[in-house]
């Protein structure tokens, strides 16, 4: 298929302009959001799609959303017909979502004189609570119905007007409705900013010309990925890695992958056949997440300035058998699939690729997001009776040492690209006191290039609260490569009246005012044999 060639400047100009639209949507969302997880930690993504639902621009946001946003758009397109001013909302992991706290909005961009949407804009933000058994909606559940409110693609806005009934059902099912409503308004405003910017772009370029640029950009992305595959060696590389447990039953859960590359055909297949069956606990990943993890790893092989578009993944096929932890089916619980299993899929893929291109692959990073959710009543507000709050945060760990350098300490790795909640912001927003926030010395694996160290974060609760931990790499360790040693596994302790108890990686506990929680995140693996002293 040969398109008429297009001026190379046009491709770059269109690519930069579209990226700028996605970045502006993200900025609007961040600046108007209410929850610290969105405004401080930037746990959101925004993206632009063609009228057919192909990803054409994405802000430099969360990799785990990279591949899964297009599936939200296609689920919305299947479910409804859009009119101007409509906005769709969804979170159902089995219909375009990832896990329930990620609420995604999809909005059409209509142009004058065209009956069908010319583009779509979408954004996704992780909300600190969507109801369910545990405050923060990230606890050890056994089926999705326990995890929170499940929203198939529905219209939240009709022709520019909020559907008060849909909103009422949603807000009645969450613990912190005022904050949720504020964050939803911020997402909705960001959609409008995206729509306005896209309409301006069309005004400037003309629809036909913009469309040609977009087509060339998508083809260009495909060419870039094919170039990468052509330079990878031919062969098949297999790897397996494990999650500690699923939070409700003991026993490791294996992820197995075979990466097959055919440089002559410039095609690759990533095959997860042999991965363990879906489990009772919440670490099941839906296909969108597995696809995102593969997208992320292959994107890491590209030149740094390659634009993230749908064209990139055209030459890569992902096989994930239904009913496994990498392609779970309803009614499996999925909260941890997005945050923990996604990280392990990346680890497994990197371990396979380390056999193909050992000079480019780093040792394992922390391999867990150390998800911490806390919910309770904040008596500082609400005149005596207090107001409910829900807090959510992921805690960074050490990065793996690479063939080139030591791993960095205290960084969010791979599928999460968020920041921390600054201590001041945390203490202002929640009834907590930060007792300690430090680098966890010597937790990175030894090696020619050391693994980065994890973090220590110790929080004192100022009121009674329910604390939920969703973490991994408490038993298995972030592996080293080329003779480097593994990083230290994570530890989570609760301190009551001076007595310490070590918690399982995935658990929920009722704690009292004055209790402390200390989380030590894993260090990264080392790369290369350490030189003797």
Partner 1 sequence: MIGALSVARRAGIARVLSFDMGGTSTDVALLDATHEPVTTIEGEVAGVPVRVPMLDIHTAGAGGGSLARIDEAGALQVGPQSAGADPGPACYGRGEGATVTDANLVLGRLHPEYFLGGAMRLDADRARKAIERVQRAGTGFGSVEAVAEGIVRVANVRMESALRRVSVERGFDPRDFALLAFGGAGPLHACALASALGMRQVVIPAAPGALSALGILDADLRREFSRTVMVEPGSKKIGGAFRELEAEAREVFRAEGLRPVLTRSADLRYRGQGFELRVDWGADAVARFHRLHAQAYGYADSARTVEIVTLRVQAVVRGQTLRVIAKKGKRGGGAAAMIGAHRVFEEGSWRRAVVYERSRLESGDRIAGPAVIVELSATIYLALGWTATVDGFGNLMLAPATTARKKTGGPR
The pair phi, psi for residue 518, each rounded to 5°, is -120, 120
Q: Cα separations (Å) of 246 from 129, 242, 285, 332? A: 21, 11, 12, 12
Q: Alpha-carbon distance 37 to 22, whole Å? A: 20
Q: Which is nearer to partner 1, 165 or 497 (CB)?
A: 165
Q: Does 84 bind partner 1 (CB under 8 A)?
A: no
Q: Which is nearer to partner 1, 312 or 372 (CB)?
A: 312
Q: Does 434 bind partner 1 (CB under 8 A)?
A: no
In the list 76, 224, 279, 461, the residue contacting partner 1 (rule: CB under 8 A) is: 224
Nearest Cα to Cα of residue 519 among 369, 340, 338: 369
Q: Does 314 bind partner 1 (CB under 8 A)?
A: no
Q: Which is nearer to partner 1, 162 or 280 (CB)?
A: 162
CA angle 317, 318, 323 (to 5 degrees): 150
Q: Going residue by residue from 191 to 210, which x/- string records binding to partner 1, judged by CB under 8 A?
A: xxx--x-------x------
Bridge partners, residue 10, by sequence: none
Q: Does 31 bind partner 1 (CB under 8 A)?
A: yes
Minimum Å gap between C-beta 326 and partner 1 is: 30
Q: Cα separations (Å) of 502 from 115, 474, 491? A: 60, 11, 7
Q: Which is nearer to partner 1, 23 or 145 (CB)?
A: 23
Evaluate whether 500 touches 494 at the Cβ level (below 8 Å): yes
Nearest Cα to Cα of residue 167 among 151, 145, 148: 151
Q: Which is nearer to partner 1, 203 or 501 (CB)?
A: 203
Q: Which is nearer to partner 1, 229 or 297 (CB)?
A: 229
Q: Cα separations (Å) of 516 from 85, 472, 497? A: 48, 20, 9
Q: Does 328 bind partner 1 (CB under 8 A)?
A: no
Helix (H) or strand (E) holding 46: strand 44-50
Minimum Å gap between C-beta 367 and partner 1 is: 24
Please write down the long-range contacts of 31-34, taking CB distance under 8 Å and 24 or more positions apart: 32/185, 32/186, 32/189, 32/190, 33/125, 33/182, 33/183, 33/186, 34/178, 34/179, 34/182, 34/183, 34/186
Q: If 0-12 CB within 10 Å is exposed, 13-18 middle and 19+ buried, where does residue 379 land?
A: middle
Q: Does 171 bind partner 1 (CB under 8 A)?
A: no
Instruction: Return the number of other C-beta atoms located less than 10 Å from residue 428's C-beta.
Output: 10
Q: Which is nearer to partner 1, 20 or 355 (CB)?
A: 20
In the list 190, 332, 396, 461, the residue contacting partner 1 (rule: CB under 8 A) is: 190
* Residues of this chain, 226-265, that bind partner 1 according to CB under 8 A: 227
Q: Does 188 bind partner 1 (CB under 8 A)?
A: yes
Q: Which is nearer to partner 1, 15 or 490 (CB)?
A: 15
Tokens of 282: 């919440």
Evaluate whether 119 touches 355 at the Cβ level (below 8 Å): no
Size of the site for partner 1 (CB under 8 A): 53
Evaluate whether 499 touches 420 at the Cβ level (below 8 Å): no
Q: Which is nearer to partner 1, 9 or 115 (CB)?
A: 9
Interface segment toward partner 1; rule CB under 8 A; list 29-37, 122-130, 143-151, 317-325: 29-37
Q: Alpha-carbon distance 533 to 367, whole Å? A: 29
Q: Does 217 bind partner 1 (CB under 8 A)?
A: yes
Minimum Å gap between C-beta 192 and partner 1 is: 3
Q: Does 20 bind partner 1 (CB under 8 A)?
A: yes
Q: Does 103 bind partner 1 (CB under 8 A)?
A: no
In the list 51, 152, 182, 331, the residue contacting partner 1 (rule: CB under 8 A) is: 182
Tokens of 273: 């056949």
Minimum Å gap between C-beta 498 and partner 1 is: 35
Q: Does 303 bind partner 1 (CB under 8 A)?
A: yes
Q: Cα separations (Å) of 434 from 319, 418, 426, 461? A: 44, 19, 8, 9
Q: Does 124 bind partner 1 (CB under 8 A)?
A: no
Tokens of 134: 């545990």
Q: Which is nearer to partner 1, 94 or 295 (CB)?
A: 295
Interface segment toward partner 1; rule CB under 8 A; list 141-149, 217-225, 251-259, 286-294: 217-225
**DSSP collapsed to 3 states, 342-361:** HHHHHHHHHHHHHHHCCCCC
- Which positions touch partner 1 (CB under 8 A)? 5-13, 15-17, 19-20, 23-24, 27-28, 30-36, 39-40, 178-179, 182, 185-186, 188-193, 196, 204, 216-217, 219-221, 223-224, 227, 303, 305-307, 425
């Amino acid at each position: 298929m040969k398109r008429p060639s297009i001026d190379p400047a046009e491709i770059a100009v269109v690519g930069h302009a579209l990226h700028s639209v996605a970045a502006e949507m993200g900025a609007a969302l961040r600046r108007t959001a209410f929850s610290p997880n969105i405004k401080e930690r930037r746990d959101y993504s925004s993206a632009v799609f063609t009228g057919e639902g192909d990803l054409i621009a994405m802000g430099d946001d969360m990799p785990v959303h990279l591949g899964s946003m297009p599936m939200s758009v296609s689920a919305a397109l299947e479910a409804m017909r859009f009119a101007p001013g409509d906005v769709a909302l969804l979170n159902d992991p089995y219909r375009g979502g990832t896990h329930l706290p990620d609420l995604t909005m999809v909005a059409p961009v209509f142009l004058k004189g065209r009956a069908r949407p010319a583009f779509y804009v979408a954004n996704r933000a992780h909300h600190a609570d969507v109801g369910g058994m545990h405050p923060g909606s990230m606890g050890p559940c056994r089926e999705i119905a326990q995890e929170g409110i499940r929203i198939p693609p529905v219209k939240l806005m009709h022709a520019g007007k909020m559907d008060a009934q849909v909103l009422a059902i949603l807000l009645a099912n969450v613990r912190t409705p005022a904050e949720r409503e504020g964050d939803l308004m911020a997402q909705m405003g960001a959609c409008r900013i995206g729509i306005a910017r896209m309409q301006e772009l069309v005004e400037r370029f003309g629809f036909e010309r913009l469309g040609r640029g977009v087509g060339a950009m998508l083809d260009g992305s495909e060419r870039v990925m094919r170039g990468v595959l052509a330079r990878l060696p031919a062969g098949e590389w297999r790897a397996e890695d494990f999650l500690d447990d699923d939070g409700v039953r003991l026993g490791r859960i294996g992820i197995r992958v075979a990466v097959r590359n055919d440089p002559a055909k410039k095609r690759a297949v990533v095959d997860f056949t042999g991965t363990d069956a879906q489990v009772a606990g919440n670490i099941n990943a839906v296909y969108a997440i597995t696809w995102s993890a593969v997208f992320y790893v292959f994107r890491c092989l590209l030149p740094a300035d390659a634009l993230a578009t749908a064209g990139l993944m055209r030459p890569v096929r992902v096989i994930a058998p239904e009913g496994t932890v990498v392609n779970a089916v309803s009614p499996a619980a999925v909260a941890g699939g997005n945050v923990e299993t996604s990280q392990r899929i990346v680890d497994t893929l990197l371990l396979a690729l380390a056999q193909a291109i050992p000079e480019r692959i780093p040792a394992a990073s922390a391999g867990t997001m150390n998800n911490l959710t806390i919910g309770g009543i904040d008596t500082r507000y609400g005149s005596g009776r207090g107001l409910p709050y829900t807090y959510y945060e992921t805690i960074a760990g050490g990065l793996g040492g690479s063939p080139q350098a030591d791993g960095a300490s205290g960084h969010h790795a791979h599928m999460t690209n968020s920041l921390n909640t600054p201590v001041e912001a945390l203490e202002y927003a929640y009834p907590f006191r930060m007792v300690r926030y430090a680098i966890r010395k010597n937790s990175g694996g030894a090696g020619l290039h050391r693994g980065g160290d994890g973090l220590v974060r110790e929080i004192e609760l100022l009121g009674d609260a329910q604390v939920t931990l969703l973490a991994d790499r408490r038993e298995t360790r972030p592996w080293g490569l080329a003779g480097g040693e593994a990083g230290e596994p994570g530890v989570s302790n609760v301190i009551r009246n001076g007595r310490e108890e070590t918690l399982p990686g995935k658990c929920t506990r009722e704690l009292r005012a004055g209790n402390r929680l200390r989380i030590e995140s894993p260090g990264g693996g080392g790369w290369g044999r350490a030189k003797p002293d």
